[in-house]
Amino acid sequence: MIVDRRNLLIGSASTAGLMIPGVASAEAAGVGSLPMPAPLRALPEPLPVEDPSRISLDLGWLFHEGDIVPPPPADHHATYLNAKAGNARGAAAMDYDDSDWSRVRLPHDWAASQPFVETANISQGFRPRGIGWYRRTIRLDPADRGKTILLQFGAIATHATIWANGSIVAHNWSGYNSVEIDLTPFARFGDELNVIAIRVDADAMEGWWYEGAGLYRHAWLTVRAPVALITDGVHCDPRQNADGGWSVPVEATLFNVGRTPGQVEVQASLLDPQGQTLATRRVPLEVPALERAVTSVSIPVADPALWSVDQPTLYTVLTQVLVDGRVVDERRIAVGFRTLRFDADQGFFLNGRPLKLKGVCIHQDHAGVGVAMPDGLVRWRLERLKAMGCNAIRSAHNAPAVEFLDLCDRMGFLVMNENRVFNPAPDYMAQLEWLVRRDRNHPSVILWSVFNEEPMQGSEAGVEMVRRMAHAVKALDDARPVTAAMNGAFFEPINVSSVVDVTGFNYYQGDYDRFHALHPTRPITSSEDTSAFETRGAFASDPRANVITSYDTEAASWLGRYASQDLEGDHGSALRRRRLRLDRV
């Protein structure tokens, strides 16, 4: 049978795929075949539970599209009450009537269900966003009185104000970081229900791509012992020693919500891929009331199996808090033993061997669901990327969902983990530090990127900003290099490549050799080198209908400009065309 490109493209766009004689299924076709996989007959295996104290809060939410603005206080007494804790008004009030609101489950992106509106922002996909409200109630067991009680959101797009029982408990100014609220001092128990209200302003934009709207990642209620590990409170990234041996340094941070100092023991165990305990260390720790305390141990490992893109072998660090010999809190964190380095002359090395990074830059949204990506769809996307030979992913241009990284660890992807806002001011530095604390145990993460294409990249101020942000990263994780995705200023006398470990090149492929000649000790990586697009199943471009051919002949109009900073004339144009063709093969 002859398969031409038109039929091949039609097949890749269809649900059933291209049925080739002699190939019964996509699995039989082997890695790299274009047909889509057969539908699963059962749910995929869930990701292992890292924190058993968490309870899913994805169900039970009520949603109202549009803002609800309460009238201003009518007199002095109303103004007085308005300033008091627990006295929120309008949709944040505890007794607000939300009986006509819609029931939704998380993840939820209300912009994904909006109609296309020609006057809406083009970068946001012509989808109106606006303002929305969420509410729900939570019943807490009286037996949980005195425990640590937290409310956690994977992310909220975009600006959010959160109330608990009529009091503001959080403001959040980014759509990409997680939000954690300590409900302990506000909590009510038994039949006295807790009322959670959230106002989300999705008109605020942080990017120039589709960002969605609402509670678009998972939510959790966490109930822990009075003395317990904090969220992201275990750092256990394996390290290779100078003699070639391995160890797992485990640093644990605990907090005590109790009224008296807590006397506990912290025990760290290393489990092999089969779940068998290899070694255990235990230390005592006193945690003052309403304070944090930190302790650390080191677990030696003789000859671990290494983590790689082809064999992503994972061990588990089990960290437990014990009171009078009884386990009251624990975390199970997957770790991988691997080394990485970027060499200025020879490129990237994983476990001492050169490895070509075959990567993609991907945003977190998907057709049909917007940014409210179910875990199964994230897995499906990664499976398709793996099948086509991809081994590296840049989280463009923001912190990804933690479930994405969990799957990358297990499937063998290398990740450039990217910060969203380039700004060392306290609010934004806190977002960067959160990113590193959350993700520094993942073996898939090989680079921290502090920015993408910033106009200040060739200025003294930009250098000082990167220097401070890189320092903050290194204070939390000294095992991974820091990069910045630059789109120019490489040859300015002052530019940020001087203060990062690896220089990220967005386009400008024609300048790689020149930069290397000028800075032979600075490693570089292609952080982004293609911006192409298509309408799947279309075979001719029709700009009036916003249709782009699938024949891979279209690319962003500005792409040639970024082939080189000093390509001019006919030679430069020819070289740009040639590089564009190569980049899109």
The rounded distance, in Å, linking the Cα atoms of 303 and 281 is: 18
Question: How confident is the model over 534-556, as a mean pLDDT?
Answer: 87
Examine the pLDDT at 574 and tell me if it is beyond 70. no
Instruction: Supply the pLDDT for residue 5.
Output: 45
Q: In Å, what is the CA distance from 118 to each residue of 121, 206, 265?
A: 8, 21, 61
Query: Which residues are marked as active site?
Result: 453, 528
Span 67-95, average pLDDT: 96
Burial class of residue 76, CB neighbours in 10 A (0-12, 13-18, 19+): exposed
User: Scanning the structure block, which residue is given the tokens 């009331």?
Assistant: 289
Per-residue pLDDT, 583: 31
Whether the CB-CB separation of 142 and 251 falls below 8 Å is answered with: no
Q: Write down the pLDDT at residue 1.
A: 39
**What is the per-residue pLDDT across 22-57, written as a single tens digit (0 to 9) for each?**
333 334 344 444 567 777 788 788 899 999 999 999
Dist. CA 292–CA 228, nearest whole Å? 10
pLDDT at 584 over 80: no
Q: What is the pLDDT of residue 563?
A: 62
- Report which of residues 25 and 305 the model is more confident about: 305
Beta bridge partners of 530: none
- Sheet order of strands, 359-362 included: 359-362, 392-395, 414-418, 445-452, 482-486, 502-506, 524-528
Q: Residue 579 pLDDT > 60, yes or no?
A: no
Least confident of 84-98, 448-462, 541-555: 541-555
Residue 191: pLDDT over 70: yes
* pTM for the model: 0.90
The Cα–Cα gap between 187 and 203 comes to: 31
> What are 150-188's pLDDT values in tens digits?
999 999 999 999 999 999 999 999 999 999 999 999 999
Q: Band of the pLDDT at 553, cuts 50, 70, 90?
A: confident
pLDDT of residue 571: 33
Reported as a single tens digit per residue, the pLDDT across 106-133 is: 999 999 999 999 999 999 999 999 999 9
Query: In whole angstroms, what is the distance from residue 293 CA to residue 304 CA?
Result: 31
∠ Cα 438 441 447 (to 5°): 85
Average pLDDT, the chain: 90
Of 1-5, 174-178, 312-316, 320-324, the range with the lowest mean pLDDT is 1-5
Q: pLDDT tens-digit profile of 207-262?
A: 999 999 999 999 999 999 999 999 999 999 999 999 999 999 999 999 999 999 99
How many CA within 13 A on the CB side of residue 535? 11
Give the pLDDT band of residue 18 (cuts 50, 70, 90).
very low
Are 260 and 235 in contact by the 8 Å Cβ rule? The answer is no
Phi, psi at 498, each rounded to 5°: -75, -10
Q: Could you write out the DSSP letters of every residue in 279-331?
A: EEEEEEEEE-TT-EEEEEEEEEESSPPPB-SSSB--EEEEEEEEETTEEEEEE
pLDDT score, position 523: 98
For residue 432, the 8-state DSSP code is H
pLDDT attached to residue 22: 31
How far apart are the C-alpha atoms of 127 and 112, rounded to whole Å? 7
